[in-house]
Amino acid sequence: MLYIHQSTCISSQHTFGSIDIEALQPSLDGRLHITEPTPPAIPAGVLRRMGKAVKMSVTCALPLLERPATPEGIIIGTGNGGMEDSIQFLNQIIQYEEGMLTPGNFVQSTANAMAAQISMLTANRCYNTTHVHRGLAFENALLDAVMQASENSASLILLGAVDEISTYNDNIERLAGGYKEGPVTNHELYTLDTPGSIAGEGAVMFLVSGNPAGANTAVPAIRTLHTTDEAEIKIQLIHFLDISLPAGETVDWFLSGENGDNRLLKYYTAAESVLSANTGIARFKHMSGEYPTAVAMACWLACHIIETGEVPIHMRKRPTGQATAGPAKNVLIYNNYKGKQHSFILVSRPGR
């Protein structure tokens, strides 16, 4: 069991600082760019050299590290890392004919730059690792945190996920048909019966441990799988719920990673067919956009739903039933990336 004590989220919505998820912020040109908050007190020389992904991760992480306790691990998941800095560095190789290159772009371009920068700014010399597994990067970081917490339940761990919209991955995804064509907004994402989604980016951080004291939410179970068969999704979800939910409990909210791509809808339909009629269904990718670690924002939203009971109308696909009329106890997240990588994450109230 992994317990979540605190969390922060930087996204295209008002999720950082003054939180307001009732008002849906619009996309621009088929992209949901983050609403950039003011970075914390970081030396100007250091801040100037940070790439966007690194700046997002540091800004998101530092508010959780202001307390006296020092995390004994920093674990970050990312699908693309600092891709924009990687491209800039490669362009410099050509531009300067492998001569005097700017080292900043190279240093910030590696996938582990986010976790490393957080570690250096906080003088943290403990366990530090980055998981780069495309659409399952955050889930593997989460599993790593579960294993670390099982070895030492008292230790705090900073767990997070970061991905940015870079010129490179945006162009590649559009050429591959990953994003919708034309001027599509997030307000109409689920009404268009067309392939593709909209681009997104974000950073999410959690302070977690194996100790329930002071925890706001918990992650009692997680499962990942690779398949292209929607029938397998249904079978695996039934099994996941059988072994993960205590006797007599049901899922209050199903948080779906449905992203408006009609090629992937069959997977979400199969998962929804397993649910009780009293389970409310909500969606989140009109808030986050599609990117490899978007499921981390879903995890942040699940914590928010459990803590506040707030599920905005624009998120709801199916109205709540009797079981979800009160505060939510169990929120099930299902996400898939490109129809191949799938995950189930159960988020619950502590002390279940």
Cα dist from 265 to 77, 91, 253, 258, 293, whole Å: 25, 38, 19, 7, 19
Residues paired with residue 342 on neighbouring β-strands, in sequence order: 225, 336
Q: 101: phi > 0 → left, psi -120 to 50 → alpha, else beta; which?
A: beta
Question: Among the listed ranges 96-105, 186-195, 296-305, which one has the minimum average pLDDT value?
Answer: 96-105
Delimiting residues of CATH 3.40.47.10 domain(s) in the chain:
2-209, 217-348
- Of the CATH numbers 3.40.50.150, 3.40.50.300, 3.40.47.10, 3.90.1200.10, which one belongs to the domain with range 2-209? 3.40.47.10
Looking at per-residue pLDDT, the higher value among 193 and 111 belongs to: 193
Strands 127-131 and 157-163: unpaired
Question: In the block, which residue shows the tokens 């995804």?
Answer: 173
Full-model pTM: 0.92
Q: Domain 217-348 sits in which CATH superfamily?
A: Thiolase/Chalcone synthase (3.40.47.10)
Own/partner long-range contacts of 308-311 (Cβ < 8 Å, ≥24 apart): 310/21, 310/22, 311/253, 311/280, 311/282
Helix, strand, coil percent content, the chain, rounded in steps of 5: 35, 25, 40
pLDDT, tens digit (0-9, with 9 covering 90-100), for 37-71: 887 778 777 787 788 889 999 999 999 998 767 89
Q: Position 48: which residue type? A: R
